[in-house]
C-alpha cells in the first residue's frame, strides 16, 4: 500500500493466511506493519482495562471526598459533558486531518481529570466560606 492505512488493511486481509502453518512448522509474522498492528492492539487493550478498573475506584473516592453520591456524581456529569464536547471537536477535526485512535482515551482521561479537579476546587472554596 501507498500509506500506512492501506498497508494495515492489506495486512489484516492476509494475516490469517500467513499465520497458518503446515504441521510441524512454527510461523511468526514480522515486519513493520505487523509490529505496528500488535503494538496498537495491545495498547488499546491496556487502556480499556485501565479505564475499566479506574472509574469505579474514582467513583468510590469521590463519594468519600464529597460526602454523598449526588455530590460525587456531579464531577462525573460535568466530565461527561466535557468529553462529549471534545468528541464533537475531534470529529470535526477528522475532516481536515488524521487523528490518532488514542485521542479518544486521552480526551476521556483529561476530561474526567479536569472535571474532578475543578469540582474539588469549588467544593473546597465553598466549605471554606461556610466555615
Q: pLDDT per residue over 16-62, tens digit each? A: 777 777 777 777 777 888 888 888 888 888 888 888 888 888 888 88
Residue 12: the pLDDT is: 82
Residue 18: the pLDDT is: 73
Helix 69-94 to helix 103-130 angle, to the nearest 10 degrees?
Answer: 140
CA–CA dist 112, 125 (Å, integer)? 20
Residue 106: the pLDDT is: 87
Amino acid at each position: 500500500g501507498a500509506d500506512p492505512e492501506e498497508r494495515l488493511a492489506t495486512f489484516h486481509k492476509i494475516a490469517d493466511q500467513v499465520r497458518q502453518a503446515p504441521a510441524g512448522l512454527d510461523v511468526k509474522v514480522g515486519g513493520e506493519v505487523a509490529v505496528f498492528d500488535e503494538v496498537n492492539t495491545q495498547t488499546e487493550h491496556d487502556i480499556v482495562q485501565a479505564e475499566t478498573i479506574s472509574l469505579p475506584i474514582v467513583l468510590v473516592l469521590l463519594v468519600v471526598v464529597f460526602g454523598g453520591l449526588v455530590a460525587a456524581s456531579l464531577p462525573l456529569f460535568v466530565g461527561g459533558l466535557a468529553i462529549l464536547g471534545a468528541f464533537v471537536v475531534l470529529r470535526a477535526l477528522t475532516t481536515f486531518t488524521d487523528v490518532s485512535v488514542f485521542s479518544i482515551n486521552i480526551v476521556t482521561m483529561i476530561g474526567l481529570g479536569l472535571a474532578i479537579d475543578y469540582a474539588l476546587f469549588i467544593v473546597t472554596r465553598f466549605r471554606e466560606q461556610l466555615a
